[in-house]
Structure 1
């Protein structure tokens, strides 16, 4: 077994909101805060958010979503006629090797990819790390704003460092696994990360999507 590593920066092209799960309303404070490291009070991107977004978008890209019941793709769906195509079946098997299979008796095993929490880049120290943006609904008849609510965002221009690791076992198609990770990052770039993507939040750019090390 060997462990491959991919490390680079995530640049925010628009404000990013990944909620911190703090449901406490603070008088005069922001209603919907971003997640922060409790020790440093600095925002970060949870590895689970990035990994989950990559997996979800890859399932759409590879055509798995339409053949399931909405649950994460698993080996139980490999009997679908879609996978009579050997190339599609190989892609599905590599996907299961990379992200794991919900079937406990699967030959593909548990997830091989590990996505660490993305911490603030040293280049962004000293930058403004938080902005408050008002969100509201518009009364269609009166044209007035209703239910204003502040949402905290990490502003565009801030950078984070991502760290992805992949276990490669004997017999694996190493290049195919690396290509899946790179494609997943490209898909996140084309879509968005975090919440409120339909409002323009979460546009990002990944540096170094292909330069793996051991």
Structure 2
């Protein structure tokens, strides 16, 4: 078991650039209701981005872009050690260094009077066309509208390993790469039809030290992270 020396916490926001649809497995459509609804917070009724959705997409993009040289995705048990270190594994057991949080919708002034179709969301009407008969099959998609913003928080555990400097730098190179990959891809469903374009904004890196004697090590690691080539581009400094 690696000793926990501290944490790096990345905070900021995710801005929705095009309508975002992250559905729920509990979809139920009564007659006349929306066909495909978005997942919402049970208390506030606001749409959320589940941490599991972001984690799965980032893991997939990183594996596909950097470590996968085949046409098919490898068995998750055969993924690179760099990916297992970030996301965890069960065989052998590897603790995940990343902790993803559910992202809650921010209150936002759109600068004009906006009337949403449903609380905080819009309805997009689409058709699927039967190529054999030419008959249209209309459907409704609930989406979080463009311009919406979600609070973002990603936690990285700093562990006491022999290769701490090398591993932390590699891990953050991959984290920054995942931010870029996701911005050039999409989040949620129906991305090939233009849904789910997002952008990370106002990102900040905060260090947290639990034992005073680890403070110098963590400050040094933070300075090494800030020297990564695309750090300034991602964090806007």
Sort the TM-score into its range (normalised by shorter chain). 0.7 to 0.9
Aligned to 2:27: 23
* Deviating 4+ runs (over 3 angstroms): 67-70, 122-128, 139-142
Instruction: Choose 21-30 or 121-130, whichever is displaced more.
Output: 121-130
Select the residue among 80, 85, 94 that pairs with 1:97.
85
Aligned to 2:171: 177
Give the whole-Å Cα distance in 2 for the aligned partners of 1:122 and 1:41. Answer: 13
Select the residue among 135, 138, 143 that pairs with 1:153.
143
- How far does residue 99 in structure 1 lie from its aligned partner after superposition? 1.1
Aligned to 2:157: 167
Select the residue among 3, 8, 20 that pairs with 1:4.
8
Give the whole-Å Cα distance in 2 for the aligned partners of 1:44 and 1:191. Answer: 19
Partner SS, residue 21 of structure 1: coil
Instruction: Choose 109-118 or 61-70, whichever is displaced more.
Output: 61-70
Please, which runs of 5 or more residues in structure 2 have no aligned partner? 208-237
1:212 correspondence with 2:205:
yes
Give the whole-Å Cα distance in 2 for the aligned partners of 1:14 and 1:2. Answer: 37
Partner SS, residue 22 of structure 1: coil
Partner SS, residue 156 of structure 2: strand
Residue 65 to residue 45, structure 1, CA distance change in 2 (3 Å): farther
Give the whole-Å Cα distance in 2 for the aligned partners of 1:101 and 1:67. Answer: 23
1:133 correspondence with 2:124:
yes
- How far does residue 68 in structure 1 lie from its aligned partner after superposition? 7.1
Name the one with the larger strand percent.
2
Give the whole-Å Cα distance in 2 for the aligned partners of 1:154 and 1:67. Answer: 33
Partner SS, residue 213 of structure 1: strand
Partner SS, residue 121 of structure 1: coil
Report the RMSD for the aligned CA atoms in angstroms.
Answer: 2.3
